[in-house]
Amino acid sequence: MKNKKLFNLYLLVIVLFLFAQSTAAEEPLQIEKVAGNVYCLYGPGGNMGILKTGSGLLLIDSKVNHSTEAVLKKIKSFSPAPITHMILTHYHWDHTDGAKTIAKGAVSICHENCKETLIRRAKKTNQDYIATIKTFDKIQKLQVGKEKITLLHLGPGHTSGDTIVIFETSGVIHSGDLFFHGMPPYIDVKEGSDTLNWIRIIETLSKKYPDYKIIPGHGKITGMKNYLYFADYLKYLRKEVSAGIKAGKDAGAIMKENKLDGFKKIKDKGFFTTRKNNILWMYQELTRKKK
Ligand SMILES: [Zn+2]
């Protein structure tokens, strides 16, 4: 009897927690100019990039399913030009869910590992769209209107199939989730994350594009200085967790002893992207068995 009461109480806590999550104020859909012809669309899910040209719109990522209709409306009121291209930075649902509707009739492109993961994880309903996505390996050049665009894959980072979009004419980078600005990142250990290479990617981009504006996967648009700060946080996280592992500690013990409070500008967001989870994911990555 006592167990049943406890169980009911546990259920109530979960229901209240989920209710609180669902009613939490959602970030409004809002378009902000980044530079040249490139804009950022904030709102539920990852940040979308929009390239506006006379001949059409190129979009980066597509947010979550429940915001699809509102996203389309927002884009239509921003420009009546047709959506001609959709670039998916990686497979995560908060960047790709709306794509099958938003990118209807457009050319969709993602990295080949991203497509492989999408196919493996997709529900049957998405298969038709996913089958039409074009892929690239290391680099692909595009021109849309007057804008010269480079798609780059610099090896695994946040996932095994991350794409970085460089708008060469406007001087803007969309990093996808290779940048969480102002918050701890998600590290996708199960789908091939590599934080050491992730740091290298940021250093490479900072040397090649020091003055470019950056649309991060999450958080406000910014520049290279804050991207390098984020790389330093990743280095610090690796160092702290490695030291714990060397001292024979498990993830729980490292979390208990280390609050990772060395980087004041990186603040926990919600219950998921937190320093605590960063320690756990880093621990899992550093102790992951090689396939
Ligand atoms: Zn992601």
Q: Quote the ligand 1 centre to 90 CA distance (angstroms).
A: 7
Q: Quote the ligand 1 centre to 164 CA distance (angstroms).
A: 13
Higher pLDDT, 259 or 250: 250
The pLDDT tens digits for 100-133 are 999 999 999 999 999 999 999 987 778 889 999 9
| Mean of pLDDT values over 27-44 | 97
Q: Quote the ligand 1 centre to 61 CA distance (angstroms).
A: 11
Q: Quote the ligand 1 centre to 130 CA distance (angstroms).
A: 18
Q: Quote the ligand 1 centre to 12 CA distance (angstroms).
A: 30
Q: Quote the ligand 1 centre to 54 CA distance (angstroms).
A: 31
pLDDT score recorded for residue 3: 53
All residues at 6 or more sequence positions from 233 whose CB lies less than 8 Å from its CB, including other chains: 184, 263, 266
Q: Quote the ligand 1 centre to 87 CA distance (angstroms).
A: 14
pLDDT score recorded for residue 27: 87
Q: Quote the ligand 1 centre to 92 CA distance (angstroms).
A: 5
Class of domain 26-225: alpha beta
The pLDDT tens digits for 150-186 are 999 999 999 999 999 999 999 999 999 999 999 999 9
Q: Quote the ligand 1 centre to 255 CA distance (angstroms).
A: 23
pLDDT score recorded for residue 23: 39
| pLDDT tier for residue 21 given thresholds of 50, 70 and 90 | very low
- Say if residue 202's pLDDT is above 50: yes
Q: Quote the ligand 1 centre to 186 CA distance (angstroms).
A: 7
Query: Domain ranges in the chain?
Result: 26-225
pLDDT score recorded for residue 26: 76
Q: Quote the ligand 1 centre to 183 CA distance (angstroms).
A: 13
pLDDT score recorded for residue 261: 85
| pLDDT tier for residue 277 given thresholds of 50, 70 and 90 | very high
Q: Quote the ligand 1 centre to 27 CA distance (angstroms).
A: 17
Q: Which residues surround ligand 1, an ion (CB under 5 A)?
A: 92, 177
| pLDDT tier for residue 15 given thresholds of 50, 70 and 90 | very low
Q: Quote the ligand 1 centre to 171 CA distance (angstroms).
A: 23
